[in-house]
Chains A and B, each alone.
Chain A
Amino acid sequence: MTTSTAITPDVLARHGLTADEYRRICELLGREPNWTELGVFSVMWSEHCSYKSSRIHLKQLPTGGPQVLQGPGENAGIIDIGDGWACAFKIESHNHPSFVEPFQGAATGVGGILRDIFTMGARPVAIMDSLRFGPLRPDLDPSGQTSPQTAARNHAILEGVVGGVAHYGNCFGVPNLGGETAFDPCYSANPLLNAFALGIARQDALFFGKAEGVGNPVIYVGAKTGRDGIHGATMASEAFSEASEAKRPNVQVGDPFLEKLLLEACLEAMQTGAIAGIQDMGAAGLTSSGCEMGARAGTGIDLDLDRVPQRDQGMTAYEMLLSESQERMLLVAHQGREDEVYAVFRKWGLDAVQVGVVIAEPRFRVRHHGELMADIPNPALTDEAPRYDRPRRAPQRTLPLDPTPAWRDRKRDAAADLLALLGSPNLCSKAWVYEQYDTMVRTNTLAGPGGDAGVIRLKDTGRALAMALDGNGRYCRLDPRRGAQLAVAEAARKVACTGARPLAATNCLNFGNPEKPEVMWELAEAIAGIGEACRALDTPITGGNVSLYNETLGRGIQPTPVLGVVGLLERGRAPLAARFAAPGRAILVLSGSPASGTREFGSSEYVALLLGTLWGTPPALDLEREHGLHQVLEQAHAHAGLDSAHQVSSGGLAVALAECCLAQTVEQPEKAPLGLEVNLPDARDWELVLFAEDASRVVVSCDPARVAEVTEAAQAAGLKAVQVGETRTHGFVIRHRGQAVVQLELEALAAAWRGGWA
């Protein structure tokens, strides 16, 4: 084998490898790697591919249960959804590319997660996205650190990311069911794009990324390989500087049309029975698919790069192996049945070429121009990749635990505060975003964006799947463990609000630089919190991804774990909506966790937006009661005839009540908002009663005759259930212990909520 370029410390640094890691590579190989092999190691040992900082912590997560058919380690997790059907789902980040090139970065983020789903044999039927950006205007950053230039750039990133998500999903033909869009100054140069996708398949027709059967042909399908995205995985594993603009060529360019063809061709080829294993070429392209498929099956792959379809000339082995060109798959066919596979791909106008063969030796072997360019034991690239127990240290707390007396001095006006919250970028209607997404294609959408959770029907079984995403960086900054628990609880609660039973979860862990002990501590704490919450709520983690180094110019993001939860709605049950259904119905508040005091209030949206500060801790969470709440919702929907359910989160009870009146009135203008009249008997100060974000709370409405039934069911589960008032045709009136604190016309509420970004 040739070694063309000397491997110096500088070369190692550019490959993101340490001197220790290099020594380890030499040990594993029993020699020095050549240039190509160094590239292969650098991507496979990158944080993005190896999970080297997070792996030992991720092991604590609950991943099993009777509902789980496939846990983490495959391209996507799979759960049982009844009658022989399976659901594959996962969430993944594309943060770094979305900063460098927002439109293509976001588009290929969606493309990548869709491939992860259909490589399992599942047809994607829904996507969601969780987006975080910096403030869109300087005045929306109370800290005063957002310059007009930064705000303009944030705006451009928002437009680009939303446009990219829309472009890819719309053309591919998968409905977008919503997600979240949130703003905070920490995301100014570190925007987050977390894309979630879900697909369905027959349980007996699932496919896995395994190179099974020595002698079987390895076939490359889909787009040709170019020089785009080389070292994308390495880029996603480092912090950014001012020079990050120069990383633009590391971002891949997506073609959703090609991916749509690839989807149809793959699903059709799978039906022939000629495919033994299949994996998409995502991060680290041919390299990761080649060695991972071998590693999972205990076999190896011998690749001949001369046969790889190429769109650039004169590419080296190094470039081809590290290219992250999109819309490509590697599959292993049963020997002698290749022609069946070729015929399907020809029909769809796609390249399908044998590029290698499955070998008995568990090695990743690559040839180019007749020369052996790489020969590496698979375990060295996968299981034997470094794992670090990086130093962790709880950060010195700089934020106060309790409010300064000054917070009481501000002019207090509950109605004005409510309007300000409803019109804030974090809480206002996100119709501007989701009207750019096709939310209805495939004619399964029972609940699109704008409610608590997205819901699609399963035409074949009569059941439905509900799904929701949640994250909260501010909570996690104050307490990553509880913040992460709250994210799990809120995502599951959103699903439960449709009347569905939460079944399983996926997580996307967005953090800063893990080489900083404080960041590593946050990551470990958050993972521990996710584990505790997922155990308590019986929603095991079936997969996900870790995105570290979300840092630009030394400034990192708040720890932002984003959770996706999927639930099942039984046959014959229509999903509950967030919006009130009719006037004259009883409004109840169900609650399970301890009420917030002034300390917990410091983490609220109210304090962040209106006081421009932060103190205290996230709201308390009683996981057992939270679980009880979900069960009560499912049962009450099935038997007690609930009209609507909406969970209380950012902005507190007053905002949640307003959302119950306004939800989905943007895209359905004929649905005039409904009003309400409530009296809140809560003994706390009205700020806390209206705007504190106590966990495990849901606003439900029902026929007044059913109130007793709902109340009894809630109390039996240890929950509080209080009937607070009634829905009305007009007006929005909240009394606190009999005293009117908010009296607004619905038009004023609606105008604030719809005009948040105007």
Chain B
Amino acid sequence: MKIGVVVFPGSNCDHDALHVAAAVAGQQAVPLWHESAELQGCQAVIIPGGFSYGDYLRTGAIARFSPIMGAVQHFAASGGPVLGICNGFQILCETGLLPGALMRNAGLRFVCRPAYLRVESTSTPFTAACRTGQVLSIPVAHGEGNYVATPEALQEIERHGQVVFRYCNATGEVTAAANPNGSRHNIAGVCSEGRNVVGLMPHPERASELVLGSADGLQIFASLLAHCRVAVTL
């Protein structure tokens, strides 16, 4: 399949996402320049991590106005799978494709370390190959990953099963100690109401090869391939 990775000025995990999609998952992977409104026939879009537009104004606030995001919105509205990682998650929230927002980490510092995620929903294109309750080891690296929403919105998100990942400990317990940034309900990732748009703060592309410490992130890519009926064993 063909996977597009959006490149904004300041994206810095674009090469990593392209590497996993191409060299690890064996798919065709193309960069999608922010000034273009063309998705080049991609069957899935990844919005990578980084500091689009230098995080000026507010993370993701400027990126949402770029031409490529118009195309991504159309693609999402038609059910196309879209994955936002880290800054990509922030951009999707700013765009309104995902509910909630991401604030400064509760500790007020950037935090980079391995984290455990519990898969809360397998009914998304990016978790279809996982088990509910499965624990994945995938690192975080962000300064603004503190997921917030109004109490009403949180209730809605929970009720519709839109929480896709929660921070947990090694045995899958959702604890305060396992929460690296103060996110409400330990939320690490959510999906849209249509379930085809998923955003998460942790970096699955950094945990897709065992030599890097974990290959659990590959589950996200394996799910996408399964969703798009690509017969590959990862």
Footprint of B on A, CB under 8 Å? 163, 166-167, 170-173, 255-258, 260-261, 348-349, 434-443, 445-446, 457, 459, 574, 667-670
Contacts and interface: CB of A to CB of B under 8 A. Distances in A.
B173 to A, nearest CB: 13
A255 B54 CA distance: 8
Nearest to B116: A670
B112 A439 contact: yes
A459 B203 contact: no
B109 A436 contact: yes
Contacts of A669: 170
Contact of A446 (B13, B51, B211): B211
Contacts of A574: 211
B54 A257 contact: yes
Contact of A348 (B9, B139, B141, B170): B9
Interface-centre pick from A170, A257, A443, A445 (highest chain B CB count, 10 A)? A443
B212 A260 contact: no
Nearest to B53: A257
B211 A668 contact: no
A173 B12 contact: yes
A260 B113 contact: no
Given A255-B54, A258-B54, A438-B141, A667 B114 contact: yes
Contact of B19 (A437, A443, A446): A443
A171 B203 contact: no
A172 B205 contact: no
Contact of A445 (B9, B10, B212): B212
Given A440-B203, A668-B114, A171 B16 contact: no
Given A440-B141, A443-B16, A667-B113, A256 B54 contact: yes
A260 B9 CA distance: 8
Nearest to A449: B112
A640 B220 CA distance: 38
Interface-centre pick from B13, B112, B113, B143 (highest chain A CB count, 10 A)? B112
Contact of A442 (B16, B53, B209): B16
Contact of A438 (B110, B114, B209): B110
B10 A260 contact: yes
B220 to A, nearest CB: 14
A83 B209 CA distance: 24
Contact of A443 (B51, B170, B212): B212
Given A170-B112, A171-B10, A435-B112, 8 more contacts: A167-B110, A170-B51, A170-B141, A434-B112, A436-B111, A438-B110, A440-B206, A667-B114
A434 B51 CA distance: 19
A179 to B, nearest CB: 15
B55 interface: yes
Contacts, number: 88
Interface residues of B, number: 33
A260 B112 contact: no
14 contacts: A166-B109, A167-B110, A170-B51, A170-B143, A173-B13, A255-B54, A257-B56, A435-B109, A435-B111, A436-B112, A438-B110, A441-B12, A441-B13, A443-B16
B160 interface: no
Nearest to A574: B211
Contacts of A261: 9-10
- Going nearest first, the 8 A-B pairs with the smallest beta carbon separation are A173-B12, A257-B54, A667-B113, A670-B170, A171-B51, A443-B16, A438-B141, A440-B206
Contact of B55 (A171, A258, A668): A171
B131 interface: no
Nearest to B205: A443
Contact of A257 (B51, B113, B141, B205): B51
B15 A437 contact: no
B88 interface: no
B50 interface: yes
Contacts of B143: 170
Contacts of A445: 212
Contacts of A437: 110, 112
Contacts of A435: 109, 111-113
A166 B209 CA distance: 25
Contact of B12 (A163, A172, A436, A459): A172
B15 A442 contact: yes
Contacts of A442: 15-16
A443 B12 contact: no
Instruction: Say what secondary structure dominates the interface of chain B.
Output: mixed
A441 B54 contact: no
Interface in B25-58: 49-51, 53-56
Interface in B191-227: 203, 205-206, 208-209, 211-212
Contacts of B212: 440, 443, 445-446
Contacts of A260: 9-10, 12, 51
Contacts of A163: 109
Interface in B5-20: 9-10, 12-13, 15-16, 19-20
B121 to A, nearest CB: 24
A348 B139 CA distance: 30
A581 B207 CA distance: 21
B62 to A, nearest CB: 11
A668 B10 CA distance: 29
A652 to B, nearest CB: 29
A667 B109 CA distance: 16
A451 to B, nearest CB: 13
Interface-centre pick from A171, A172, A445, A668 (highest chain B CB count, 10 A)? A171
A161 to B, nearest CB: 14
A581 B209 CA distance: 20
Nearest to A163: B109
A442 B206 CA distance: 8
Contacts of A258: 54
A257 B51 CA distance: 7
B210 to A, nearest CB: 10
A640 to B, nearest CB: 22
Nearest to B10: A257
A440 B55 contact: no
Contacts of A257: 9-10, 51, 53-56
A439 to B, nearest CB: 6
A171 B54 contact: yes
A520 to B, nearest CB: 41
B6 to A, nearest CB: 15
A150 B212 CA distance: 42
A166 B54 contact: no
Interface-centre pick from A258, A434, A667 (highest chain B CB count, 10 A)? A667
A669 B180 CA distance: 13
A457 B54 contact: no
Contacts of A670: 170
B86 to A, nearest CB: 10
A159 to B, nearest CB: 9
Nearest to A170: B110
Nearest to B50: A173
Contacts of B19: 443, 459
A163 B107 CA distance: 13
Contacts of B111: 435-436
Contacts of B139: 440
Nearest to A171: B51
A437 B56 CA distance: 20
A102 to B, nearest CB: 15
A489 B228 CA distance: 55
Contacts of A441: 12-13, 16, 49, 141, 206
Contacts of A348: 9
B171 to A, nearest CB: 9
Contacts of A459: 19, 23
A445 B139 CA distance: 13
A668 B116 CA distance: 10
B231 to A, nearest CB: 26
Contacts of A443: 16, 19-20, 205-206, 208-209, 212
A171 B110 CA distance: 11
A437 B109 CA distance: 10
A173 B209 CA distance: 20
Contacts of A173: 12-13, 50-51
